[in-house]
Structure 1
Amino acid sequence: MTTELSEFDAKAAESGGLATERFRDSGKTAALEVPKERVSLLANEVLGAVYETIRQHKVTYDEFNALKAWLIGVGEDGEWPLFMDVWVEHVVEEVSTEDREGNKGTIEGPYYVPAAPELETPATLPKREDEGGTPLLFQGQVRGVDGASLGGAHVEIWHADDNGFYSQYAPGLPEWNLRGTVVADAEGNFALNTVQPAPYQIPTDGACGKLIAAAGWHAWRPAHLHLKVSAPGYQLLTAQLYFEGDQHLSDDIASAVKPELVLSPTTRADAAGNEVTYDFVLDAAKS
């Protein structure tokens, strides 16, 4: 007799392994030609900061060995993508986009899956018939910093369900549940129907969870929509949009919240859920 798994049976090592595999397949690991002088500079500064911490806080051999075992565990659980995306990526994103004039973005996170189904606007994200959560109409326009509307722009969106789980990273969910790429109309307008996601904790049964427990931190992320917005001749915008009133806006474990990214949905006129309008302004591609 076999037991069908549900999303509540998700394990950190399994989702971590999938995230690691997808990162390796993404092309982001292709050899990067960085001058050895820069590699040496960055490595020495990072190591120097570690040395200073050890000296300042008199790190013991027991603590050193615990750290070594934990680092090994991060790899064994496939949680390097989770660790880097939760605790490091927000700073890289900040410095990488500081010269942009268009919309603010934020981190991608570890649960992106490419090639989501394309949907013509107005669209409904793929979802189960009994999908939990408050219905949400999310709409807006994509345009350039010069004000030009960007017809045919792609608004790729993915988010967790009402229980905090992502399709393709938790068992029992349809393959493309709450994932899709909405194609804007000729004026750059888009509209999609989905459900409002819930706040969730990042996986806590792996190495990252052990760090969180040992440090006495919480593991919560505020509810959010993930987006990648693109148009030919413009820079890709990667963003997350949050919801006003979420109790974790000020203490997101991933430090990814920005005031410009907080939505304020209102009740629809037909009372069939919430709606919100948010426009995306893209920077021209660098020559």
Structure 2
Amino acid sequence: MASQRVLKVFDGIVKHTKKLLDEAQISHDEYHEFVLWLDRLGRKGEIPLFMDVFFETHVLNSIYSGYPGTEPSLLGPYHIENTPMLEEPYVLTQRADEKGDVLYFKGTVRSVDGKPLANTLVDMWQADADGEYSHYADDIPEYNLRGRFYTDENGQFEVKTIVPAPYKIPTDGPTGEFLDYIDHHPYRPAHLHIQFKQEGYENLITQVFFEGDPWIETDVAEGVRSTLITKLEHHEDTNGSYKTASLDFEMRTQNWRAEIKKDLTVANSSK
């Protein structure tokens, strides 16, 4: 039996493709070159990369822009499941001689109406000081700079890690060709990846960025949101130097769309 949802979406794609073909006056030769490029993209295994970098942020904006709650950002291609569960005090799994500035990152997780969300599962991962991710670089331990932990009874958490480095996405394949076509650099600003899970709430996948990063205004993936930017504070004590940063997060209930629709209906009926 045909899926009406698939048919509806496909019809929409065809409709808007026809409009684009007409507006851009795309020739058959250009279309054929595009098909060959798509074939190379698939053979290189870069479809997830390309979609993450050039489309996912627009999907997220379409779904969440203007609504309450922390703005989501890209999951990205470097997430892995079932990373180590950490014990307090929380320290992301790392090498004994891990390069980079020590960072203590903290935050509070609440519902959109301000309720602290205790025992929220926090899944965190990041690049190292060279811009590399464990599990995807051969010379890095499997779970380096990855880990999961829980918020306390007040919805708060603090984790020790290192300040990540900016990095460039792969450019040796069709995605790199596309960047050349649009004359854009391949860099992402330094960021932390965080995913929050809490019963009764929609999973929140987002990123944290830092003021002053040279790529923050021109992120190749357009994943930066002004509400996700925090400041690195420098500190010195008898143990040496370190950085601190913080950001608070708000989670939406699983039925947030229905709740907003209900609120609008009630508001309109009272006019």
Could you tell me the TM-score, scaled by structure 1's length?
0.82
Instruction: Give the total of aligned pairs.
Output: 253
- Name the SS of the counterpart of 1:51 in structure 2: helix
Task: Tell me what 1:251 maps to.
Answer: 218
Percent identity, aligned pairs only?
35
- Name the SS of the counterpart of 1:119 in structure 2: coil
Deviations 1:134-163 (A, max 9, x none): 110001111212222211111111111111
CA–CA distance in 1 between the matches of 2:94 and 2:22?
50
Task: Tell me what 2:8 maps to.
Answer: 38
Task: Please report how far the alpha carbon of residue 40 of structure 1 lies from its aligned counterpart in structure 2 after TM superposition.
Answer: 3.6
Deviations 1:202-222 (A, max 9, x none): 001121112212432210111
CA–CA distance in 1 between the matches of 2:70 and 2:16?
31
CA–CA distance in 1 between the matches of 2:157 and 2:178?
41
Q: Are 2:122 and 1:151 aligned?
A: no
Runs of at least 5 residues in structure 2 that lack an aligned partner in the other structure: 259-271
Question: Structure 1 pair 73/53, CA: closer, same or farther in 2 (3 Å)?
Answer: farther
Task: Please report how far the alpha carbon of residue 46 of structure 1 lies from its aligned counterpart in structure 2 after TM superposition.
Answer: 3.7
CA–CA distance in 2 between the matches of 1:170 and 1:49?
43
CA–CA distance in 1 between the matches of 2:22 and 2:162?
47
RMSD: 2.0
Q: Which amino acid aligns with 1:208?
A: T
Match of 1:129 among 72, 96, 108: 96
CA–CA distance in 2 between the matches of 1:252 and 1:34?
37
- Name the SS of the counterpart of 2:119 in structure 1: coil
Conserved 8 A contact 1:121-1:191: no
Could you tell me the TM-score, scaled by structure 2's length?
0.86
CA–CA distance in 2 between the matches of 1:54 and 1:95?
24
Runs of at least 5 residues in structure 1 that lack an aligned partner in the other structure: 1-31
Task: Tell me what 2:228 maps to.
Answer: 261
Q: Which aligned pairs between 1:4-83 and structure 2 lie closer than 5 A?
A: 33-55=3-25, 59=27, 61=29, 63-83=30-50
Q: Which aligned pairs between 1:1-287 and structure 2 lie closer than 5 A?
A: 33-55=3-25, 59=27, 61=29, 63-98=30-65, 100-270=67-237, 271-286=240-255
Pick which of 193-202 and 261-270 moved more.
261-270
Runs of 4+ in 1 over 4 A off after TM superposition: none
Q: Which amino acid aligns with 1:95?
A: S
Question: Structure 1 pair 49/148, CA: closer, same or farther in 2 (3 Å)?
Answer: same
